[in-house]
Structure 1
Amino acid sequence: MNIRLGRRPFLGAVMAGVAAPLAACSDDGTAETQEQARQLVIGATAAPAALDPSTNSGAAIPQALLYNVYETLVKIDSNGDVVPLLATEWNESEDGLTYTFTLQPKAAFSSGAALDADAVKTSLERIMHDESVLATLKSQLGAMESVTAQDASTVVVRLSQRDNNWLYHAAQTAGIIYEPDKLDQLNTAPAGSGPFVFDSWSEGNPLVLRKNTSYWGTPTVFDTVTFKYFTDATAENSAMSSGDLDVISNLQAPQSISQFQDTSRYTILDGTTMGEVVLGLNHQREAFSDVRVRRAINYAINRSDLLQTVAAGYGTLIGSMVAPTDPWYEDLSGTYDYDPDTARRLLAEAGHGDGLEFALRVPNLPYATSAATFITSQLAQVGITVAVDTLDFPARWIDEVMTKSNYDMTIISHTEGRDIEKWANPDYYWHYDNAEFNRLIAEARTGPADEQVEKMRQAARVLADDAAADFLYSMANLVVLRSDISGVPENLTSESLDLTAASSTNI
């Protein structure tokens, strides 16, 4: 299928609107329509477990808060480019070791506190030194050696070595600038500088944002945004069809897209995401230390049929941990064409002709449970018995799979940008360790900038050839909008569901 791509690169989220309290309205209902139009409710597939994105993993937190409540020095725009945000401009030294940022003079936190160089220094140094910060974020900005407030409006970041990805990561969760005096409240009361402010959230309830009436930049047109969390795709679609929803972002059940074909009511966007759906293998398990077993699993699964079954054909076959909007993307989906006979032969050569048994532990997300059913059937045909265990997401899946590595196989969409680098960390929950791959990733990141793309392509080929996992497909970004809504990005190019340009013709 054809997908319109941005130039560069999320567990998927779903947007929805609910009826707001009605204003007193005129005979023609104009006031009521405008009041309703200023309310936007977003329904997502996975709720956050907490609210501090620097200490809690899970895509739901930056999905709602990044760029909307929290801002960064630079951001990833809808084309996938790095553009100014809290910094009006920046300069990189010729050796790639020094970044100098000039801050936006009007920028301020929503509380009115100054957003100056000292505030930026506090946030970035927290990533460096606070032991509670996620290791992933520390790694992303790991080359950062020092941060200096040269004056109130100038920040100088010094790296210990060149890092061709540093600015990209600084434009996302790792680079969030938090209000310094409220760092101890971030899990319950996010404090940023964006066009929205945090209003309310508790476990099992919607997450509500409201307009930052003192925002330093271009204000949002919406008074409130509410994120509602759905696990049932049918209920979500029914709500959209009945007029209770404004938007569905990243449709959970692509097979149902035909019910939104009425262009007088809906607009459908067909874009892409950074979400690589991966059948992950726990390399601590003895069977997966044998590349023949890993390759057999890849040969045993018909990814084209899986994509049709799980996502009605929407998405892109990939073959490695690279999204279609990454600069180094190339189609590696043919590395292991569907060949169950070869799969059986490899298993026999590896001493498993009598079969293997694995536990497949997946999150209770529609694409994952559907893919698990398909994969279980396919692997059974080559003598691999799979016991599926569905875990609540995010809390239990993160605890059992990511934290405890208590699994054999799993299925998840990894949504962070340039997340192929995670395969170079043997402590990450896959526990994959390949010296050649690690070398290429390091050279791509720290070597000459003009060699990065080719080095990353080589690394992606190593990952594919070594069958480190079965890289199933890259998720499509199927967005269903109420026909008056615009400004929602077609492609998800960052960790954020960026609503800063969202609007409605009814306002």
Structure 2
Amino acid sequence: MDSVAVTSTPRGSGVFRIVAVLVSMAMAVVAAGCTSSPTNSASGQKHTLVVGATVEPPSMDPFHNSAAAIPQALLYNVYETLLKVDSEGALRPLLAQAWEISPDQLTYTFHLNPAAKFASGAAVDGEAVVANVNRLKNDPTITETLRAQIDLVVSAEAPDAGKAVITLSRPSVMWLYEMASTLGMMVDPTSTAALATTTAGSGPYQLKQQNKGTSVVLEKNPSYWGTPARFDEVTFRYFTDPNAMNASMLSGDLDVISNLQAPDALSQFSDTSRFTTISGTSNGEVVLGLNHDNPDLAKLEVRKALTMAIDRKALIDTIWNGQGTLIGSMVAPTDPWYEDLSGTYPYNPDQAKALLEQAGYPAGKLKLRLRVPVIPYATKSAQFVASQLREVGVETTIEELDFSRWLSEVFTNGDYDMTIVAHVEARDLGKFANPKYYWHYDNPQFQQLYEQADAAGEAGAVPLMKQAARLLATDAAAIWLFSLPNLVITKSTITGVAPNETSLSFDLTTLAGR
């Protein structure tokens, strides 16, 4: 059988970088100050965009830090990938004009765009792709997520300048989607600058400066190889208070809120002569994560009891203005293997008390620390959860952490019992197959089933992924609170904002101002 040439794949969007919203969720992205006309060479007027966000990137290096705020600003805008996920969740050409997959689904051949080049002028050729793959494979300090993804790669070769051939150790449905995200970001191999403070990409923008605590500023790459950037300068401005961001939008300082972090404020933007409201879907599963290294939480009866103690529908109505979708496993509604599993362990506080008693935890005996990042959905959810757990006799202590501290203490060091964060990567069911991930969930049955699903090909994966998702739900591996909506508010002068959040990127390449 001949290999199959691929220029796109069927839709199937769903990767922690935490997220963000973590991060993409944790972030409310905003575009602003962009109602002026494009730069006029005579007047020198700049066409600018200001992007407001909830979570500030702790670094500009996406390979050694899991904050979703980093690729939110840099993916596709500064660092391009061989292929990208479009607004419908389909894979499209970017640095690669086309790609082929061998019949055994192990070898991927990418045909590179001969015009593609880095901001330095160096070519994005086969050797550059190989250098990027080898850089990650040989770096023991990259994030745990990237390590799991790059470990699938056996070899990378460049038969000629226009081609890169990558071979995997086993078939993987997910791998191409991972290559369209952080794993596939191409960094200029000729650059020796520190990626934490300097960018070296091939995209239409490059880093101008990072102002710690306030903003990240991107500027137009004057030598971009593709369609030129529509804005001369883009500023991501960070807000810890969603009401302050709303106020900035209402006062005209911002042009877009890409993911509204105060859904009860929707009515403030009802004037259609000034604002446009877009309601779409996202990849953000808001997860009440459980640390399975805690002996109490390692007991299924306890996890089931905690799940049944929380009225998740009331939580959405109370803390998120009814916006969002109930889910019962690590699958967003946009994933091809989604099914509603939210009723697996329905709200039943009396049954929750009984389960706790059976497990040896009478009222007041089970004491848990709930450590959450200071992000609106997380802090609001934490208060609701603690109140509901108190009703079934579980004492919960809440501790709010700034996001960098959360990443260090909770995500990296596992110092927590429970936490709440939105996982915004596409198709991220496989996070539970990695026992080193911060949940420390180690279920060999799930790991084997997920690997079988990932190796089953696009069509064969769906029933197996559904089976894996059901296993997670019945094992109460976590408590899935809800799936975040993608609520976008724009000024009427801004166009091109995608309604659905299908990747970690706030894709500036589609936006325009008039």
TM-score (norm 2): 0.92
User: Is it true that 1:371 corresponds to 2:381 in the alignment?
Assistant: yes
In structure 1, list runs of 5 or more residues that go unmatched.
1-5
User: Is it true that 1:275 corresponds to 2:284 in the alignment?
Assistant: yes
Instruction: Select which of 85, 99, 105 maps to 1:96.
Output: 105
- Counterpart for residue 135 of structure 1: 144
Tell me the CA shift for residue 184 of structure 1: 4.2
Change (3 A) 1:7 1:314: farther
Q: Deviations over 1:32-85 (max 9, x none)?
A: 9x957x211111110011111111110000000000000011111111001100
Would you say how many aligned residue pairs link Structure 1 and Structure 2? 492
Residue type of the alignment partner of 2:188 = E
Change (3 A) 1:448 1:235: closer
- Counterpart for residue 125 of structure 2: 116
User: Is it true that 1:14 corresponds to 2:14 in the alignment?
Assistant: no
State the SS of the aligned residue for 2:398.
strand
Residue type of the alignment partner of 2:393 = G
- Counterpart for residue 4 of structure 2: none
Provide the rounded CA distance (Å) in 2 between the counterparts of 1:102 and 1:322. Answer: 32
- Counterpart for residue 67 of structure 1: 76
- Counterpart for residue 291 of structure 1: 300
- Counterpart for residue 226 of structure 2: 217
- Counterpart for residue 251 of structure 2: 242
Q: How does 1:99-248 map to 2 (within 5 A)?
A: 99-248=108-257
Residue type of the alignment partner of 1:111 = S
Tell me the CA shift for residue 138 of structure 1: 2.2
Tell me the CA shift for residue 313 of structure 1: 1.1
Tell me the CA shift for residue 186 of structure 1: 1.1
Instruction: Select which of 368, 377, 392 maps to 2:402.
Output: 392
Change (3 A) 1:159 1:17: closer
CA contact (8 A) 1:363 1:391 kept: yes
Change (3 A) 1:22 1:255: closer
Tell me the CA shift for residue 251 of structure 1: 0.5
Tell me the CA shift for residue 141 of structure 1: 3.1
Residue type of the alignment partner of 1:341 = D
In structure 2, list runs of 5 or more residues that go unmatched.
1-10, 15-20
CA contact (8 A) 1:141 1:166 kept: no
Provide the rounded CA distance (Å) in 1 between the counterparts of 2:180 and 2:70. Answer: 16
Residue type of the alignment partner of 2:29 = M
Tell me the CA shift for residue 126 of structure 1: 1.2
Provide the rounded CA distance (Å) in 2 between the counterparts of 1:397 and 1:67. Answer: 27
User: Is it true that 1:55 corresponds to 2:76 in the alignment?
Assistant: no
CA contact (8 A) 2:303 2:476 kept: yes
Residue type of the alignment partner of 2:379 = T
Change (3 A) 1:436 1:7: closer
Higher mean Cα deviation, 441-450 or 123-132? Answer: 441-450
Tell me the CA shift for residue 449 of structure 1: 4.1
Instruction: Select which of 324, 348, 362 maps to 1:339.
Output: 348
Q: Deviations over 1:109-129 (max 9, x none)?
A: 112111111111101111212
Tell me the CA shift for residue 447 of structure 1: 3.3
Tell me the CA shift for residue 364 of structure 1: 0.6
User: Is it true that 1:362 corresponds to 2:372 in the alignment?
Assistant: yes
Change (3 A) 1:335 1:111: same
User: Is it true that 1:489 corresponds to 2:498 in the alignment?
Assistant: yes
Higher mean Cα deviation, 461-470 or 109-118? Answer: 109-118
Residue type of the alignment partner of 1:383 = G
State the SS of the aligned residue for 1:50.
coil
Change (3 A) 1:193 1:380: same
Residue type of the alignment partner of 1:462 = L
Provide the rounded CA distance (Å) in 2 between the counterparts of 1:432 and 1:97. Answer: 28
- Counterpart for residue 305 of structure 1: 314
State the SS of the aligned residue for 1:214.
coil
State the SS of the aligned residue for 1:162.
coil
Tell me the CA shift for residue 370 of structure 1: 0.3
- Counterpart for residue 7 of structure 2: none
Residue type of the alignment partner of 1:446 = A
Residue type of the alignment partner of 2:68 = A
Provide the rounded CA distance (Å) in 2 between the counterparts of 1:450 and 1:235. Answer: 46
Provide the rounded CA distance (Å) in 1 between the counterparts of 2:478 and 2:287. Answer: 7
Q: Deviations over 1:261-282 (max 9, x none)?
A: 1100001111111111011111
State the SS of the aligned residue for 1:307.
helix
Deviating 4+ runs (over 3 angstroms) = 15-23
Tell me the CA shift for residue 212 of structure 1: 1.4
- Counterpart for residue 8 of structure 2: none
CA contact (8 A) 1:177 1:192 kept: yes
- Counterpart for residue 3 of structure 1: none
Tell me the CA shift for residue 14 of structure 1: 2.4
Change (3 A) 1:18 1:217: closer
CA contact (8 A) 1:103 1:117 kept: yes
Residue type of the alignment partner of 1:255 = D
Tell me the CA shift for residue 142 of structure 1: 2.3
CA contact (8 A) 2:319 2:377 kept: yes
Tell me the CA shift for residue 491 of structure 1: 0.7
Provide the rounded CA distance (Å) in 2 between the counterparts of 1:162 and 1:169. Answer: 13
Provide the rounded CA distance (Å) in 2 between the counterparts of 1:20 and 1:87. Answer: 31
State the SS of the aligned residue for 1:286.
coil
CA contact (8 A) 2:29 2:506 kept: no
State the SS of the aligned residue for 1:309.
helix
Tell me the CA shift for residue 7 of structure 1: 5.3
Tell me the CA shift for residue 317 of structure 1: 0.7
CA contact (8 A) 1:66 1:172 kept: yes
Provide the rounded CA distance (Å) in 2 between the counterparts of 1:46 and 1:444. Answer: 34
CA contact (8 A) 1:121 1:148 kept: yes
State the SS of the aligned residue for 2:422.
strand
Tell me the CA shift for residue 19 of structure 1: 5.1
Provide the rounded CA distance (Å) in 1 between the counterparts of 2:458 and 2:101. Answer: 12
Instruction: Select which of 322, 325, 335 maps to 1:316.
Output: 325
Tell me the CA shift for residue 446 of structure 1: 2.1
State the SS of the aligned residue for 1:201.
strand
Higher mean Cα deviation, 354-363 or 90-99? Answer: 354-363
